[in-house]
A and B are shown apart, each in its own frame.
Chain A
Amino acid sequence: MANALEIRDLRVSVEGKEILKGLTLTVKTGEVHSIMGPNGSGKSTLALALMGHPKYEVTGGEVLFKGQNILELEPDERAWLGLFLAFQYPLEIQGVPLGRFLWAAKKAQLGQSETSNGKPDKKADAKALGEFRKELKAKLSLLKLDEVFGQRYLNVGFSGGEKKRAEIVQMHLLKPQIAIMDETDSGLDIDSVRVVAEAINQLRGPEFGALIITHYQRILNFFRPDYVHVMADGRIVRSGDYSLAQELEAKGYDWILNGQEQGVS
Chain B
Amino acid sequence: MPHTTNLQSAFSSETIRELSGRYREPAWRTEQRWRAFEIFQKLPLPDSRYTKIRNLDLQTYRLAPESSEKLPEFAREREAIYSQIDNAVVSTKLPQHLREKGVIFCDLETALREHADLVQRYLSQAIAPSEDKMTALVAAFAASGLFVYIPKDVILEEPLRLVHLLDCSEIAALSHLVVVLERGSRATLLEESYARHPYGDGTPFHAAVTEIYVGEGAQLQFGGMQNWNEETYSFVRRRAQIQRDARMHWTIGWLGGKLTHSYVESRLMGPGATMEDIQVLFGRNRQHFDLTSSLRNMAPHVKGEIHVKGVLKDRARAVMYGFIKVEPPAQQSNSYQLAQGLLLNDGAHCDAIPGLEIEANDVRATHGASIGPIDEEQIFYLQSRGLERERAKRAIVEGFLTPTLEQIPITGVRERFHALVEEKWH
Contacts and interface: CB of A to CB of B under 8 A. Distances in A.
B378 interface: yes
Nearest to A89: B377
A259 B399 CA distance: 51
A145 interface: no
A170 interface: yes
A54 B377 CA distance: 9
A216 B133 CA distance: 70
A126 interface: no
Contact of A95 (B375, B386, B388, B398): B398
Contacts of A174: 385-386
A94 B403 contact: yes
B3 interface: no
Interface residues of B, number: 24
Contacts of A85: 384
Interface string B338-364: 000000000000000000000000000
A96 B387 contact: no
Contact of B396 (A53, A75, A96): A96
Interface in B366-385: 375-378, 380-385
Interface residues of A, number: 32
B282 to A, nearest CB: 14
Interface string B157-181: 0000000000000000000000000
B380 A95 contact: no
A87 interface: yes
B403 A76 contact: no
- Residue picked from A94, A95, A104, A154, most chain B C-beta under 10 Å: A95
Contacts of B377: 91
Nearest to A111: B386
B383 A95 contact: no
B344 to A, nearest CB: 16
Contacts of A76: 383-389, 392
A134 B378 CA distance: 27
- Residue picked from A52, A74, A108, most chain B C-beta under 10 Å: A108
A46 to B, nearest CB: 14
B402 interface: yes
A105 B399 contact: no
A51 interface: yes
A53 B399 contact: no
- Residue picked from B376, B389, B396, B399, most chain A C-beta under 10 Å: B399
A102 B386 CA distance: 9
A23 B214 CA distance: 69
Contacts of A74: 383, 388-389
Contacts of A79: 383-386
Interface string A91-128: 10111100001101110110010000000000000000
A79 B383 CA distance: 8
Nearest to B405: A95
A80 interface: yes
B386 A80 contact: yes
A95 B401 contact: yes
Given A51-B384, A54-B380, A94-B400, A104 B389 contact: no
A95 B403 contact: yes
Interface of B: 375-378, 380-389, 391-392, 395-396, 398-403
Given A96-B399, A174-B385, 4 more contacts: A91-B378, A105-B386, A153-B399, A174-B386
7 contacts: A51-B384, A52-B380, A79-B386, A93-B382, A94-B400, A95-B399, A105-B385
